[in-house]
Amino acid sequence: MKKINSIIVGALAIFGGITIANSNHAEAKTYTTVPTSLRGHWYSVDSSYYAYDRMTNSKYHFRTYYPGNGWETIYGNKFPSYGRGHSQLSVNRNSKGYYLIGKYATDDYAYYKHVTHKGHSAVRVLVPRLDYGGGYIVSYYYRSKSIAKHPSEKAVKKSISKTKPYYGYRVATNSLVSDNTFYDTEEHDILSDYLPTQYSKVIFQYKSTVVPTKHTWVWFHGSKQHLLTDYKYKNGSWVKVQEYNANTDKHKYY
């Protein structure tokens, strides 16, 4: 985020009037999760340094890397004193599907949206250029360095459906294949858009090595993926353990 400068509240009006501030009781903690569509590893070519900008995002960690600044992490499970119970990470979705992400109660923000660009799964990033006559700096992040360097439609068409069996599920055989499930190396959970019993729909991220039954499976669902349901493998079957509602910050245990 250190690369992002001069982002002010006035920019919010362009995208439908997102409000950054949330009213929270001082004693209550508001955990913030990174949208599932933005999680994982992402790369973008940085022509200024002839290197790659990166994003490595997990459930409660939004991490960015710029060659000139290094890594910076914004935490959805850490609570600064000025936040009055809100986490350091702030995530708000507007009517156009963009997520305004940054540090809570600061002007350190940018817009993020998962899209298909030149046939590839990508994250479009918009940084307001309010000091330069308006408009946005637009960049795209891809699943691998090779795609970021040479994004091409042909490469996707040749490998769009290449998967192989993986513990009863499927796993991508290369970085060009769209996946929907991956292992969070920080939380040690499996994060997925599908239930652990939806074997035919689950596609693990390329180069996955984790054994699914040895970890908690977190299913993201709901109208805005605000529900996180945990499953554990016990006695030969998947068992629902708990459900977390990000809208109400409440847990339901089974």
pLDDT (0 to 100) of residue 17 = 43
pLDDT (0 to 100) of residue 143 = 86
Q: Judging by DSSP bridges, how do beta strands 169-172 and 203-204 pair with one another?
A: parallel
Cα separation, 49 vs 53, in Å, equals 9
Q: List the structure tokens of 197.
A: 């019993």
pLDDT (0 to 100) of residue 232 = 96
The 3-state DSSP class for residue 164 equals strand
pLDDT (0 to 100) of residue 9 = 39
Domains along the chain with CATH numbers: 9-154 (2.40.128), 161-253 (no CATH)
pLDDT (0 to 100) of residue 170 = 94
Cα separation, 250 vs 243, in Å, equals 8
Task: Detail the DSSP E strand segments found in the chain.
Answer: 40-46, 51-57, 61-66, 70-75, 89-93, 99-103, 109-117, 120-128, 136-142, 163-166, 169-172, 181-184, 189-192, 203-204, 216-221, 227-234, 237-245, 250-253
Distance set, CA 235 to CA 34, 90, 213, 245, 254 (Å): 32, 39, 11, 27, 16
pLDDT (0 to 100) of residue 132 = 59
Q: Any idea what DSSP says for residue 195? A: -
Q: Judging by DSSP bridges, how do beta strands 70-75 and 89-93 pair with one another?
A: unpaired
Residue 210: phi, psi to the nearest 5? -70, 145
Q: pLDDT 10s per residue in the chain (254 long)?
A: 544 444 433 444 444 444 444 444 445 788 999 999 999 889 998 877 678 899 999 989 999 998 888 889 999 999 998 888 999 999 999 988 899 999 999 888 899 999 988 888 899 999 877 665 667 888 999 988 888 888 875 544 444 458 899 999 999 887 667 678 888 776 788 988 899 999 999 999 888 999 999 999 988 887 656 678 999 999 999 999 999 876 676 889 99
pTM of the model: 0.54
Distance set, CA 51 to CA 47, 63, 67, 70, 209 (Å): 7, 17, 7, 12, 28
